[in-house]
Amino acid sequence: MSAELGGGPRVAALLAELRGMGSERDREGMARYGINVENAFGVSVTALRKVAKRIGTDHELALALWVTGNHEARLLACFIDDPEAVTAEQMDAWAADLDSWDVCDQATTSLFDRTPHAWKKAREFAKRDELWIKRAGFSLMAGLARHDTAAPDSAFVGVLPLIERGAFDERNFVKKAVSWALRGIGKRNRPLNEAAVACAERILAAANERAGNERGGDPATRAARWVATDALKELTSKQVRARLDPKPRRAR
């Protein structure tokens, strides 16, 4: 799509700047990590964040950048958009446009998780079947686990059934986001750690039952086992438990 269709001279200038910042070497590196580079210049997220810092918050510019369809422009849009100005309709539209895991994760953990619609959309997206929209639901949960410090534990416990179901999705980009969400929830505090560990144990038990308590199983079973063991390994580790346990008070 042309720059003109994406927002006029300012967007055209930014696209030209981003094109100049890109390199074929970085573009090839992105491709090796499974990023869709069909419409990418090869600019690092670190460099894009510096551009975003210079621009500041600009909702209208973010919308115009997204419309260009350019990979870096969409990442930049995620960094400069105003969470309070983002509508539920915008989140639906952007989710439908997702075509790469990095844009999905930046949209959900740098923008969507700070909007007033975050919890509703996390639940909605996680119930969808489209690859990137479903991943967005779980990566959004991971973003909320890290950034929504005011959310009650009950909000996170409420999405655990979605995580249990999502664990049986054999698609690599989905199962990794499911594990990310479960691990993020379990690292918030001790009660949520216990809830997340119990959830992982239920996933593992369900997978084993599905496989008739035999090793292996169908792709969905193997995916669920991977999610459960990945989460249990981290959430029961000494490092995580030590961080979550209350520190003893020093004697005066």
Instruction: Enumerate residues 6+ apart whose C-beta is below 8 A from 114.
Output: 83, 147
Instruction: Enumerate residues 6+ apart whose C-beta is below 8 A from 206.
Output: 164, 168, 224
Instruction: Tell whether pTM > 0.85.
Output: yes
Cα pseudo-dihedral 157, 159, 164, 170, rounded to 10: -150
Q: What is the pLDDT along the chain (252 residues), one digit of tens a residue?
A: 333 344 689 999 999 999 999 989 999 999 999 999 889 999 999 999 999 999 999 999 999 999 999 999 999 999 999 999 999 999 999 999 999 999 999 999 999 999 999 999 999 999 999 999 999 999 999 999 999 999 999 999 999 999 999 999 999 999 999 999 999 999 999 999 999 999 999 999 999 999 887 777 899 999 999 999 999 999 999 999 999 987 666 655
Q: Give the model's pLDDT for residue 216.
A: 78
Q: Give the model's pLDDT for residue 4.
A: 37
Q: Give the model's pLDDT for residue 7.
A: 62
- Out of 1.25.10.10, 2.30.110.10, 3.40.50.300, 3.40.50.10070, the CATH code matching 118-244 is 1.25.10.10
Q: Give the model's pLDDT for residue 15.
A: 96
Decide: residue 69, CB within 10 A, 0-12 exposed, 13-18 middle, 19+ buried.
Answer: middle
Q: Give the model's pLDDT for residue 250.
A: 63
Q: Give the model's pLDDT for residue 5.
A: 42
Q: Among all chains, which residue has been given the structure tokens 């979550």? A: 244
Q: What is the residue type of 76?
A: L
Q: Give the model's pLDDT for residue 251.
A: 58
> For the chain, which residues make up each domain, given as ranges?
118-244
Coil, strand, or helix at residue 117?
A: coil
Of 226, 146, 131, 155, nearest to 181 by C-alpha is 146
> Rounded CA gap, 179 and 244, in Å?
19
